[in-house]
Amino acid sequence: MKHKIEGFLDLVRQRNSLEPEFLQAVEEVAETVIPYIVQHDIYHGKNILLRMVEPERAVMFRVNWVDDSGEIQVNRGYRIQMNSAIGPYKGGLRFHPSVNMSILKFLAFEQVFKNSLTTLPMGGGKGGSDFDPKGKSDNEIMRFCHAFMSELFRHIGPNTDIPAGDIGVGGREIGFLFGMYKKLKNEFTGVLTGKGVTWGGSLIRPEATGYGTVYFAQKMLQTKGDDIKGKTVTISGSGNVAQFATEKVTQLGGKVITLSDSSGYILDKDGIDEQKLAFVMDLKNNKRGRISAYVDAYPNAKFFPKKTPWSEPCAIALPCATQNELNENDAKILLNNGCICVSEGANMPSTKEAIALFQKAKILFAPGKASNAGGVATSGLEMTQNSLRYNWTRKEVDDKLKDIMGNIHDKCIKYGKDEKTGYIDYVKGANIAGFVKVADAMLAQGVV
- Site for ligand NDP, rule CB under 6 A: 165-168, 170, 209, 237-242, 261-263, 320-322, 325, 345-347, 372, 375
CB nearer to ligand 2IT: give 175 or 375: 375
243 binding ligand 2IT? (CB under 6 A): no
Neighbour order of strands in the sheet with 316-318:
302-305, 264-267, 255-261, 232-235, 316-318, 341-343, 364-366
CB nearer to ligand 2IT: give 250 or 379: 379
Beta strands 89-95 and 57-66 are unpaired
CB nearer to ligand 2IT: give 347 or 431: 347
Taking residue 243's Cβ as centre, other Cβ atoms within 10 Å add up to 24
**CA–CA distance, 149 with 153 (Å, rounded to integer):** 5
* Residue closest to 263 by CA, chosen among 234, 301, 306: 306
CB of 240 closer than 8 Å to CB of 441: no
* Residue closest to 152 by CA, chosen among 129, 122, 123, 170: 129
92 binding ligand 2IT? (CB under 6 A): yes
> Cα 254 to the chain's mean position, in Å?
23
- Quick one: what does residue 102 bind among ligand 2IT, ligand NDP, none, with the CB cut-off 5 to 8 Å set by partner type? none
Taking residue 388's Cβ as centre, other Cβ atoms within 10 Å add up to 9
- 306 phi and psi, to 5 degrees? 60, 20
- Quick one: what does residue 83 bind among ligand 2IT, ligand NDP, none, with the CB cut-off 5 to 8 Å set by partner type? none
166 binding ligand 2IT? (CB under 6 A): yes
Q: Which of residues 186-205 bind ligand 2IT (CB under 6 A)?
A: 193
Region from 86-94, 315-323, 324-332, 389-397 binding ligand 2IT, contact rule CB under 6 A: 86-94
User: Which residue in the set 55, 87, 91, 309 belongs to the binding site for ligand 2IT (CB under 6 A)?
Assistant: 91
**CA–CA distance, 204 with 397 (Å, rounded to integer):** 7
CB of 447 closer than 8 Å to CB of 126: no
408 binding ligand 2IT? (CB under 6 A): no
3-state helix, strand, coil in the chain (%, to 5): 50, 15, 35
* Residue closest to 334 by CA, chosen among 353, 354, 348, 320: 354
In the residue annotation, 417 being an active-site residue is answered as no
CB nearer to ligand 2IT: give 309 or 375: 375
User: Which residue in the set 23, 164, 320, 442 belongs to the binding site for ligand 2IT (CB under 6 A)?
Assistant: 164
User: Which residue in the set 33, 141, 376, 383 belongs to the binding site for ligand 2IT (CB under 6 A)?
Assistant: 376
Which entry of 105, 126, 136, 219 is annotated as an active-site residue?
126
- Quick one: what does residue 240 bind among ligand 2IT, ligand NDP, none, with the CB cut-off 5 to 8 Å set by partner type? ligand NDP
CB nearer to ligand NDP: give 164 or 433: 164
Closest contact distance (angstroms) between CB of 364 and ligand 2IT is 21
Torsion sign (Cα): 263, 134, 106, 211: positive
- Quick one: what does residue 91 bind among ligand 2IT, ligand NDP, none, with the CB cut-off 5 to 8 Å set by partner type? ligand 2IT
Enumerate binding residues for ligand 2IT (CB under 6 A).
Answer: 90-92, 111, 114, 164, 166, 193, 347, 375-376, 379
Q: Which residues are catalytic?
A: 126
